[in-house]
Amino acid sequence: MRILPQLLFRAIWISLLVVFIVVSCKKDPYEIGLELLPPSDTLYVSKIDTVTVVAYSEIMDSIRTDELPSLVLGSIVDPVFGKTTASFYTQFLLSSEQIDFGVNPRLDSLVLILYYGTYYGDTNTLQQLRVFEVSEDIDYDSSYYSNQSLDTYGIELANMTYRPAPKDSIIIWGKPVAPHLRINLSNHSNYLGNKILFAPDHVLSSTTEFVNFMKGLYVEAIPVSSRGALINYVPSTGLSKMVIYFRNEDVGDSLHFNLPIDLVSARFNTYNHHGYEDASPDFKQQLVYKDTTLGKNQVYLQSLGGVKLKLQFPYFKSLLDSLGPIAINSAILTFKNSEMDSTWIPPPQLAMYKVDSAGRITQIIDELDGLSYFGGAYNKDERIYWFRLTRHFQRLLLSDSVEKYNTYVFPSNPLIRNTTANRVILNGTNPIFSSSPADRIKLSITYTRMQ
């Protein structure tokens, strides 16, 4: 494609002008910069929004979940996505070394304390959990994934039914304490408490020795039958911990010793979507049975290693080549939330990346200008997400090679491990229930025609 140099320079100037002003501007992203052009330039500016977009959802592979900012626990049933259950494995460290439990120590209780963070779903639903001691090492320097499991000793330390109360403080020794979950690990058996209390001196004098001796716990959520919630519990603050309460011959009153889940505690989450057996028929038809044509109506995104969205633009180059020599001033891809119901809060920020055949994730060039320019944030008032892909599509237009990457939208940034549980259902490329063309997945391109 041959383009007059002076006209190409003018088009590039227009594109750069858009980049400079977009961060602080609150106008419609399609119109930014056009009002700044002299009339002679706007004569050559056109807009097209009929570029074919192919979109459909796919089930994600497992994702890394080690050393996340939160430990996710619980089970939830979504009317569309079905059931999701989250459990976790974690180490506990010594709060101090050279411990001495005194003469003839006696166990009072062993309690696991988990401090509440955020949650997703209905916390009024009763939840059930079980706790086991892990028999395999958990290595801080290793990578762990959402579908992994470790062996346990099989001794049930706790089997507890509870109603999550993330907003209710608890009175401890007459004083209010921040909301947390308390799990008694000595109701069923004194085994683990006595194991710690009577550990050899060398185990209690070194954190390294201790984590080899007591490798950690597996906290398993039992699937609920309806509603439910996924709860983020906060480690690494000194608040979430295991506490051993004891007494000895020297002190008659109960004493305690903390075993915290610290910043350097090895830990990871597991997520089970149960094969989407309980998902809606349309969801299963598109994702489980891989009927990609259903992406014309609706597409899906789900966090916690759930669902991603694949995008293709099969006729992009041929369509734009038919327009003659052009330069792209703006390329905006929009998605509309198909749900009016606010029960299921959509992800606050989507992510878009290129993925090669080996699964390697590559950044889209427009993201280098920052998220305020690139987009992906949810507009609650309009129920839309948008991405600006101007430089990405300009590169494709000028390239003679075939694009070797697939484009994917994720419910959260796959390069940053996080524990958001949000999901969203988006209108497809030609939704049958919508009367407005603006509601579909749409790529709008503003371009300058070279004369």
d(CA 422, CA 339): 13
Q: What is the pLDDT of residue 29?
A: 56
Q: Which of 298, 243, 202 is nearest to 92 (CA)?
A: 243
Residue 423 falls within a domain, yes or no? yes
Q: What is the pLDDT of residue 324?
A: 84
Residue 65 falls within a domain, yes or no? no
Residues 288 and 232 in one domain: no
Q: What is the pLDDT of residue 200?
A: 95
Q: What is the pLDDT of residue 404?
A: 67
Strands 71-78 and 255-260: unpaired
Residues 38 and 144 in one domain: no
Q: Which of 258, 241, 226, 236 is nearest to 82 (CA)?
A: 226
Query: ∠ CA(422), CA(288), CA(65), 5° rounding?
Result: 45
Residues 30 and 85 in one domain: no
CA 137 to chain centre: 26
End position of a domain, from candidates 272, 288, 304: 272
Residue 190 falls within a domain, yes or no? yes
Residues 196 and 96 in one domain: yes
Residue-range definition of the domain harbouring residue 49: 5-60+279-449
pTM for the predicted model, two decimal places: 0.88
Region class of 53: left (phi > 0), else alpha (psi between -120 and 50), else beta? beta
3-state SS of the chain? CCCCHHHHHHHHHHHHHHHHHHCCCCCCCCCCCHHHCCHHHHCCEEEECCCCCEEEEEECCCCECECCCCEEEEEEEECCCEEEEEEEEECCCCCCCCCCCCCCCEEEEEEEEEEEEEEEECCCCCEEEEEEEECCCCCCCCCCECCCCCCEEEEEEEEEEECCCCCCCEEECCEEECCEEEEECCCCCCHHHHHHHCCCHHHHCCHHHHHHHCCCEEEEEECCCCCEEEEEEECCCCCCEEEEEEECCCCCCCEEEEEECCCCCCEEEEEECHHHCCCCHHHHHHHCCCCHHHHHCEEEEECCCCEEEEEECCCHHHHHHCCCCEEEEEEEEEEEECCCCCCCCCCCECEEEEECCCCCEEECHHHHHCHHHHECECECCCCEEEEECHHHHHHHHHCCCCCCCEEEEECCCCCCCCCCCCEEEEECCCCCCCCCHHHCCEEEEEEEECC
Q: What is the pLDDT of residue 14?
A: 47
d(CA 186, CA 110): 5
Q: What is the pLDDT of residue 438?
A: 77
Contact 227, 241 (CB under 8 A): no
d(CA 217, CA 440): 47
Residue 76 falls within a domain, yes or no? yes
Residues 159 and 297 in one domain: no
- Domain count within the chain: 2
Residue 66 falls within a domain, yes or no? no
* Tally of CA atoms within 13 A in the half-sphere of 420 that contains its CB: 20
Q: What is the pLDDT of residue 23?
A: 45
Strands 71-78 and 82-90: antiparallel
Residues 94 and 216 in one domain: yes
Residues 80 and 21 in one domain: no
**Digitized pLDDT (tens) for each residue of the chain, 451 residues in all:** 444 444 444 544 445 444 444 444 445 554 544 444 555 555 578 999 989 999 999 999 999 999 999 999 999 999 999 999 999 999 999 999 889 999 999 999 999 999 999 999 999 999 999 999 999 999 999 999 999 999 999 999 999 999 999 998 888 878 888 899 999 999 999 999 999 999 999 999 999 999 999 999 999 999 999 999 999 999 976 789 999 999 998 887 889 999 999 889 999 999 999 999 999 999 999 999 999 999 999 999 999 999 999 999 998 888 888 888 888 999 999 999 999 877 899 999 999 999 887 778 899 999 999 999 999 999 999 999 999 999 999 988 887 765 667 899 999 998 888 889 999 999 999 998 766 777 999 999 999 987 6
What are the tokens at 233? 């519990």
Residues 239 and 305 in one domain: no
Residues 244 and 299 in one domain: no
Residues 98 and 217 in one domain: yes
Residues 256 and 323 in one domain: no
End position of a domain, from candidates 245, 272, 299: 272
d(CA 440, CA 426): 9
